[in-house]
Amino acid sequence: MELADRVQALTPSTTLAITSKAKALKEEGHDVIGLGAGEPDFNTPEDILNVAKKAMDEGKTTYTPAGGIPALKQAIIKKLQEDQGLQYTEEEIIVTTGAKHALYNLFQVLLNRGDEVVIPVPYWVSYPEQVKLAEGQPVYVKASEENDFKITPEQLENSITDYTKAVILNSPSNPTGTLYTEEELKALGEVALKHELIIVSDEIYEKLIYGSDDHVSIAQLSDDLKEHTVVINGVSKSHAMTGWRIGYAAGNQQIIQAMSNLSSHSTSNPTTISQFAAIGAYSMDQHKLNEMKKAFEERLNKLYEWMTDIPGISCVKPKGAFYLFPNISEVVANSPFDSTDEWVKQLLEEEKVAVVPGSGFGSPENIRLSYATSLENLEEASKRIARFVKKHSSN
């Protein structure tokens, strides 16, 4: 059977491949430490669970509008006003089955065949695949480690052609944890406005920022930028609700309506109970989430110290999210392995530590380590990695 061209062009997920292999080894009884997880290792807060239970008890289990229930849209509107000073109407908000679904719908309604989308490298693995599924063309712009994995206005300018439709900005970023400043966003925004680009601002990790830096949405910097920006967010990372699958997009009413129309013919509506749970997430005392954030920050500091103590490994210290993205090019060059992918595969085989090769993010010199696991696991994993590096070093 011959499948559609659109799916044959997709690149298999490196993250899922590593996760699958690690799971198989665990089932065989091996002591595997998985550092590939893209989700918090905390349960959904009890306040949110109680709201969901109440909704079920009250029979709130039927269809809702395709774009989400008005009460949740109002909760999102309130959140955007309080956090970023942004003002939206219900018609400018769509609730989706996770932030990934919001991105998928957005590219489907924005792109025609051959339209280009500028994607900074390193990137989250699904960005280019979703652009390709919409028959668009990813245009990759390599962000240097020397610039903390952030692209410059000059790089953005040089990547734009007559076919460029949009640019993706992810701050804080997966996989690097990098965070754009207000000044940097303004400069990038000027280029985007000059060429009338749509800015896709993925802000899913906005609540997980460490140190004294603040999250800034490019949409809050001017009315023009707000009009050209579609904000993507959700409760998955901020409230430990990955499995509930609730995300949203906020932006131009025409775009949002088209996304809602598409949802009406694909998913019908986000899960009803999950929508009520998300209302609970935005209604609860947000300070209760500080325990999770504090734990992530402690893990980041320790893991960064342990990994950069390993000879040959360098790393830009992240400012957000829950990933470390160390450069291991020197380690690989001094080993018998031909590539980072092979190094990662052998690390899992020998030391039973699962990390994700950077090739899946467009950066084959790096690996991604999630610190969404205990300090004990992180310390043991660091010891095993150090042992593996030493064992296979030609120096």
225 Cβ contact partners less than 8 Å away, ≥ 6 residues apart: 189, 192, 193, 199, 218, 219
Output the CA–CA distances (angstroms, integers) from residue 134 to 73, 104, 256, in the order listed: 27, 8, 17
The 323-324 sheet, strands edge to edge:
323-324, 367-370, 356-357
Alpha helices in 229-289 (DSSP H): 253-264, 272-283
61 Cβ contact partners less than 8 Å away, ≥ 6 residues apart: 55, 272, 273
CA 259 to chain centre: 20
Q: Which residue has the higher pLDDT, 129 or 37?
A: 129
218 Cβ contact partners less than 8 Å away, ≥ 6 residues apart: 169, 180, 185, 188, 189, 199, 201, 225, 229
pLDDT digits (tens, 9 = 90+) for 75-103: 999 999 999 999 999 999 999 999 999 99
The whole-number average pLDDT for the span 359-363 is 96
pLDDT digits (tens, 9 = 90+) for 6-16: 888 888 777 77
pLDDT digits (tens, 9 = 90+) for 260-305: 999 999 999 999 999 999 999 999 999 989 999 999 999 999 999 9
pLDDT band at 17 (very low <50, low <70, confident <90, very high): confident
pLDDT digits (tens, 9 = 90+) for 158-188: 999 999 999 999 999 999 999 999 999 999 9
Torsion 138-186-238-297 (CA) sign: positive
% residues pLDDT > 70 (the chain) = 100
321 Cβ contact partners less than 8 Å away, ≥ 6 residues apart: 172, 173, 174, 175, 176, 177, 205, 208, 237
